[in-house]
């Protein structure tokens, strides 16, 4: 049997190490794919599948993409969650003996994108790693494009998933056994790419980056992640910062469902940023600021001092309109320093990036003076706004103001920067001016006015004489080079000599320019930590000015923080709904809670504004805890440690999640994890099951929160019957969204008032929706029968809860029982419990039963 050609054998040898990636195999001007890769890629990329001889009888499937347009194809594959291994020729084909040597130079994966076209400016692109040892999980994440590297310890795998969801992680690096166990869930639920990293590099390789980490699992997670990044990227990753340990407890905790329900960074329905809190608050001027804003919204603070620091700065900026405007203009000119630092380290930066860097750095002194002008006392911005003057000066001196995109074709470096380069350029310039003079001289010598000196790539410099004038040349004056239809082209030895000089000088200067550029890049590389620190300062300032801008435009107020668990919001609004509806249309509402008023039970018809009101309170808390002003006339609030939101299954718009089970799981989450410092929003919980079931569950949950947790809770319900709980639970207050009825039709006022809603209005809403009149009429009749039933139900709910479980059960036998009766029943139950059935004959049992019944009847 014939065997594969050497090239195919080489392909297979390389492919072996990249089973889970498309191998882009460089062949001349194309990247080719073979075998299975080719079949799959032709389908995914909609390119033609061909085949080639490979030494065996069967032809090998093949498809390819041109080298120069490969980027778009790679992007398509990465977006679909695939990986692409770039395999280049690593020796000059002309010099190669046998098959040209090839190597994979980079593995591009969803979590390791560096290409500025593929990355979204205002979004991070995270890759994470998880390691586990017993009940301890190390979770580390990195944005390769910015160099951010963080790590934490978590004690449940769900918490790791939660972090992944919160950060929008694209790729997770794990060990085999972890991938086997959790890979499918991660892939399905979060759409992440799973990557394996079996071998861990020696920790000495990462030195300072992991020096501050103490716990072995933290270290292991970071080492796994870095090992993977170095293995796949195969280059300097000097921009990756020291691993920063964080604790989820230091931030306001929200699980992924709560975050989604509150539409913090994207809407539930469209998954768009538009319509989210992030969209509302984003007045950032830089890409870095945009990314930080999202991170801030994802992790509101819980430390009052840190919150105050932000808020006070926002206040300053809010009041100084002109300074803020100026600041915004300066910020707008600041380029994405974080990603730029990444590309400098990565080695794919060009001269245009450097010009942008220069312009950015030029803004820094102005930004600093605006900021320092606002603040009187010494502050952190004095040092953190570091203009990196040396870098600015270097770039100013070295790089042309309008350089080309390519760094390999010259035109990058300014005159006067390098002596040698200047000499080459001088030589080339001299040569060119000699040639320019030559034309004059030769015209003069020969008397041919139309004589020209020209240049083309193939023949170089030449003297051109039209056919009509050829007779004016002396025999052997020039050397004939090329004949055209009506002219002849000539050369002379001096011309060739000068030409060689010019071309050599140009070639040398292009090479030298590239070398100089690389040197400058290496020099700037040493400033990466300073550039990153500057980027951090700028992005913080950008976020804070964004808060100030929005707060001023939308008339927000500075929140105060209450020590005594009070929550007072006067004329509060739902920030996003208000923006969408318009300030005039939105009806503001108060919210008042304190230690005697912990639970608000909200009733009111559908569409009245219950859900909006509840979210309004949560969003106000979040805005305050990220350091922004809040949409209200006045606000005082506690600092919450966690926020839980659960939306009744029937209201849950997210497809696939609307099962009652999920609803209950989330409720469990809130009930088991909330503390008295948490905020719970339960919006029509219990809707996903039958009325009595649902109502019973809702009541039980309310009682549990009231008696055992004491968290601030907003509980909306369409179970009107639950409002009687107000009489039984002292810290529960009924409030309702008022409606007015005009000639039998309801008008929504969207106004919250104390007390329970007087009725449900469901039928009124149906009427508004213009259901057939017969349906409405019939529904009214049926309602009357139901309402009669409800009265008995209300009686059950109202019955004060007793402390003994036995007693609680008894109350089901008989709703109204006297103390004496209770004593008796208790005795009977006691007797029943103590019967030793196994020792009794059927007759004994019969007798005992008779005895008990007699007691009951007495
Ligand atoms: P519910 O939960 O009671 O069924 P929603 O909170 O979903 O009602 O509100 C229904 C609609 O009413 C919202 O889409 C919004 O347009 C409008 N709405 C809610 N609250 C207000 C308000 N305070 N002012 C103006 N319109 C509001
Ligand atoms: Mg609702």
Q: Is 607 in the pocket of ligand 1 (CB under 6 A)?
A: yes
CA 287 to CA 299: how far, in whole Å?
Answer: 19
Tell me the sheet residues that pair with 453: 463
Question: How many CB atoms are closer than 10 A to CB 522?
Answer: 12
* DSSP secondary structure string for all residues of 178-231: HHHHHHHHHHHHH-PEEEE--S---GGGGHHHHHT--SHHHHHHHHHHHHHHHH
For residue 719, report the distance from its CA to the centre of ligand 2, in Å. 13
The residue written with tokens 């039970």 in the block is 601
Give the ligand 1 atom nearest the CA of 574: 23
Q: Which is the closest atom of ligand 1 to the Cα of 614?
A: 6
Angle at 27 between CA 25 and CA 28, to 5 degrees: 145
Select from 577, 589, 682 the residue to mutate for testing ligand 1; criterion: most ligand atoms less than 8 Å from CB: 577
Nearest CA, atom 18, ligand 1: 609
Burial string for 763-777 (b: 16+ CB within 10 Å, else e) reads: bbbebbeeeeeeebe
Q: How far does the centroid of ligand 2 lie from the alpha carbon of residue 651, in Å? A: 7
Please list the residues that pair with 33 across neighbouring strands. Answer: 63
Q: Which ligand is nearest to the CA of 610?
A: 1
> Ligand 1 in contact with 715 (CB < 6 A)?
no
Q: Is 761 in the pocket of ligand 1 (CB under 6 A)?
A: no
Q: Which of 263, 573, 607, 650 to mutate to test the pocket of ligand 1 (most atoms within 8 A of CB)?
A: 607
Minimal-distance CA residue to ligand 1 atom 26: 586
- Distance between CA atoms of residues 302 and 675, nearest Å: 14
The alpha carbon of 467 and the centre of ligand 2 are apart by a number of angstroms equal to 91
Residue 321: count of CB within 10 angstroms of its CB: 12
Q: How far apart are CA 341 and CA 591, in angstroms?
A: 47
Distance 632 CA to ligand 1 centre (A): 17
- Do 63 and 50 touch, CB atoms closer than 8 A? yes
Residue nearest to atom 20 of ligand 1 (CA): 609
**CA dist., res. 712 & res. 638, Å (int):** 10
Ligand 1 centre and the CA of 581: distance in Å?
10
Contact 668, 674 (CB under 8 A): no
pLDDT tens digits, residue range 551-577?
A: 999 999 999 999 899 999 999 999 999
Ligand number nearest CA of 609 is: 1
The reported pLDDT for the residue numbered 803 is: 44
Tokens of residue 615, six digits: 């979210």
Sorted by sequence, the CB contacts under 8 Å of residue 410 that are 6+ apart come out as 506, 509, 510, 513
Give the chain's residues under pLDDT 70: 1, 648-659, 688, 744, 759-761, 787-818
The atom of ligand 1 lying closest to the CA of 684 is 2
Pocket test for ligand 1, best of 573, 607, 609, 736 (most atoms within 8 A of CB): 609
The pLDDT value recorded for residue 283 is 97
How many angstroms separate the most distant Cα atoms in the chain? 148
- Measured by CA distance, the residue closest to atom 10 of ligand 1 is 607
Q: Which residues are annotated as a binding site for ATP?
A: 604-611
| Cα–Cα distances in angstroms (integers) from residue 321 to residues 373, 440, 542, 626, in the given order | 13, 65, 15, 22
- Residue nearest to ligand 1 atom 19, measured at CA: 609
Nearest to residue 461, comparing CAs of 452, 470, 469? 452
- Binding site, residues? 604-611
Whether residue 586 has its Cβ less than 6 Å from ligand 1: yes
Residue nearest to atom 15 of ligand 1 (CA): 609
For residue 270, the 8-state DSSP code is T
pLDDT at 654: 47
Cα–chain center distance at 189: 16
Give the separation between CA 674 and CA 724, rounded to whole angstroms.
25
**Ligand positioned closest to the Cα atom of 738:** 1
* Ligand 1 binding pocket includes 368 (Cβ within 6 Å): no
Closest ligand 1 atom to 683 CA: 2
Q: Is 714 in the pocket of ligand 1 (CB under 6 A)?
A: no
Q: Residue 648's pLDDT is what?
A: 63
Atom of ligand 1 nearest to the CA of 608: 3
What ligand 1 atom has the least distance to the C-alpha of 737?
A: 3
Residue whose entry in the numeric block shows the structure tokens 């299975």: 36
Pairwise CA distance, residues 280 & 579, whole Å: 8
Ligand 1 pocket, 725 CB below 6 A? no
CB of 610 within 6 A of ligand 1: the answer is yes
Asked if residues 338 and 288 have their Cβ atoms less than 8 Å apart, the reply is yes
* C-alpha of 729 from chain center: 42
Which atom from ligand 1 is nearest to the alpha carbon of 604?
3
Select from 614, 492, 630 the least CA-distant residue to 561.
630
**Which residue, judged by its Cα, is nearest atom 23 of ligand 1?**
587
Å from CA of 605 to ligand 1 middle: 11
Instruction: Give the pLDDT score at 744.
Output: 66
Query: Is the CB of residue 200 less than 8 Å from the CB of residue 224?
Result: yes
Between the CA of 169 and the centroid of ligand 1 the distance, in Å, is 34
| pLDDT at site 248 | 92
Q: 164 Cβ partners below 8 Å, 6+ apart?
A: 128, 172, 186, 190, 192
Listed in sequence order, the residues at least 6 apart from 645 whose beta carbon sits closer than 8 Å to its beta carbon are: 257, 258, 261, 262, 614, 615, 618, 680, 681, 682, 683
Please tell me the number of the ligand nearest to residue 749's CA.
1
Tokens encoding 830? 């006691």
Identify which ligand lies nearest to the alpha carbon of 613: 1
Which ligand sits closest to the CA of 604?
1
Answer yes or no: is the C-beta of 587 below 6 A from any ligand 1 atom.
yes
- Ligand found nearest the CA of 762: 1
Ligand 1 contacts CB of residue 611 (under 6 A): yes
Condensed to tens digits (0 to 9), the pLDDT of residues 789-808 reads 666 666 666 654 444 443 33
Q: Which residue's CA is minimally distant from atom 13 of ligand 1?
A: 609
Beta-ladder partners of 465: 488
Atom of ligand 1 nearest to the CA of 588: 23
What lies within 8 Å, CB to CB, of 712 at 6+ separation is 565, 567, 593, 598, 599, 638, 640, 678, 679, 680
Answer whether 738 contacts ligand 1 (Cβ < 6 A): no
Does ligand 1 have an atom closer than 6 angstroms to the CB of 749? no
The verdict on the CB of residue 750 being under 6 Å from ligand 1 is: yes
DSSP code of residue 399 = B
């Amino acid at each position: 049997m014939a065997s594969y050609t050497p090239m195919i054998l080489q392909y297979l040898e390389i492919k072996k190490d990249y089973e889970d990636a498309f191998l882009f195999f460089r062949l001349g001007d194309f990247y080719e794919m073979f075998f299975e890769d080719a079949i799959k890629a032709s389908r995914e990329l909609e390119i033609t599948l061909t085949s080639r001889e490979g030494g065996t009888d069967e032809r090998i499937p093949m498809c390819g993409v041109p080298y120069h347009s490969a980027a778009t194809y790679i992007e398509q594959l990465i977006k679909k969650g695939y990986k692409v291994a770039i395999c280049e020729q690593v020796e000059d084909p002309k010099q190669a003996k046998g098959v040209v040597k090839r190597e994979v130079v980079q593995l591009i994966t969803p979590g390791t994108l560096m290409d500025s076209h593929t990355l979204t400016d205002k979004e991070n692109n995270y890759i994470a790693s998880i390691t586990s040892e017993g009940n301890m999980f190390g979770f580390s994440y990195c944005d390769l494009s910015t160099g951010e590297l963080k790590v934490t310890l978590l004690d449940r795998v769900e918490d790791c998933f939660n972090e992944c969801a919160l950060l929008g992680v694209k790729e997770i690096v794990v060990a085999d056994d972890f991938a086997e166990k959790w890979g499918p869930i991660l892939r399905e639920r979060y759409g992440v790419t799973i990557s394996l990293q079996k071998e861990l590099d020696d920790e000495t390789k990462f030195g300072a980056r992991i020096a501050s980490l103490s716990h072995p699992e933290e270290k292991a997670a970071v080492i796994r992640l870095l090992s993977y990044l170095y293995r796949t990227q195969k280059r300097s990753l000097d921009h990756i910062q020291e691993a920063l340990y964080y604790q989820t407890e230091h931030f306001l905790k929200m699980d992924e469902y709560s975050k989604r329900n509150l539409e913090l960074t994207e809407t539930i329905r469209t998954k768009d940023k538009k319509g989210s809190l992030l969209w509302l608050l984003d007045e950032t001027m830089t890409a870095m600021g945009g990314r930080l804003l999202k991170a801030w919204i994802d992790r509101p603070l819980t430390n009052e001092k840190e919150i105050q620091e932000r808020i006070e700065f926002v206040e300053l900026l809010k009041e100084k309109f002109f300074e803020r405007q100026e600041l915004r203009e300066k910020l707008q000119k600041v380029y994405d320093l974080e990603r730029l630092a990444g590309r400098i380290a990565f080695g794919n930066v060009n001269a245009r990036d450097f010009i942008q860097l220069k312009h950015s750095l030029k803004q820094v002194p102005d930004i600093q003076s605006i900021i320092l002008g606002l603040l009187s006392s010494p502050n952190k911005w004095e040092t953190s706004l570091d203009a990196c003057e040396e870098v600015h000066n270097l770039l100013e001196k070295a790089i042309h103001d309008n350089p080309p995109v390519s760094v390999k074709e010259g035109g990058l470096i300014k005159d006067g920067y390098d002596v040698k380069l200047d000499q080459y350029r001088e030589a080339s310039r001299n040569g060119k001016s000699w040639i320019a003079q030559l034309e004059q001289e030769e015209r003069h010598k020969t008397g041919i006015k139309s004589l020209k000196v020209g240049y083309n790539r193939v023949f170089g410099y030449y003297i051109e004489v039209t056919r009509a004038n050829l007779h004016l040349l002396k025999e052997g004056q020039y050397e004939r080079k090329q004949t055209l239809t009506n002219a002849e082209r000539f050369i002379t030895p001096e011309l060739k000599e000068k030409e060689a000089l010019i071309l050599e000088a140009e070639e040398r200067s292009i090479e030298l320019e590239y070398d100089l550029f690389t040197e400058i890049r290496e020099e700037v590389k040493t400033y990466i930590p300073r550039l990153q620190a500057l980027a951090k300062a700028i992005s913080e300032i950008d976020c804070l000015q964004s808060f100030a801008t929005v707060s001023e435009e939308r008339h927000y107020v500075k929140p105060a923080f209450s020590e005594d668990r009070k929550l007072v919001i006067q004329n509060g609004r739902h920030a996003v709904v208000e923006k969408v509806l318009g300030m005039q249309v939105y009806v503001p509402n108060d919210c008042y809670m304190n230690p005697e008023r912990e639970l608000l039970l909200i009733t009111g018809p559908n569409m009245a504004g219950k859900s909006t009101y509840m979210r309004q309170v949560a969003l106000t808390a979040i805005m305050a805890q990220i350091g922004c002003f809040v949409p209200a006339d006045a606000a005082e609030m506690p600092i919450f440690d966690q926020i839980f939101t659960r939306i009744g299954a029937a209201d849950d718009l997210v497809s696939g999640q609307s099962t009652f089970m999920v609803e209950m799981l989330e409720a469990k989450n809130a009930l088991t994890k909330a503390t008295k410092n948490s905020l719970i929003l339960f919006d029509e919980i219990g809707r996903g099951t039958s009325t009595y079931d649902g109502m019973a569950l809702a009541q039980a949950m309310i009682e549990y929160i009231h008696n055992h947790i004491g968290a601030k809770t907003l509980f909306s319900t369409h179970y009107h019957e639950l409002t009687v709980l107000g009489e039984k639970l002292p810290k529960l207050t009924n409030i309702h969204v008022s409606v007015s009825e005009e000639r039998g039709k309801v008008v929504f006022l969207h106004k919250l008032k104390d007390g329970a809603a007087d009725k449900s209005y469901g039928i009124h809403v149906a009427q508004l929706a213009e259901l057939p009149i017969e349906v409405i009429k019939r529904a009214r009749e049926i309602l009357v029968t139901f309402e009669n039933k409800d009265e008995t139900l209300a009686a059950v709910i109202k019955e004060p809860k007793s402390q003994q479980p036995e007693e609680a059960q008894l109350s089901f036998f008989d709703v109204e029982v006297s103390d004496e009766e209770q004593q008796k029943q208790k005795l009977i139950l006691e007797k029943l419990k103590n019967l030793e059935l196994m020792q009794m004959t059927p007759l004994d049992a019969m007798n005992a039963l008779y005895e008990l019944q007699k007691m009951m009847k007495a």
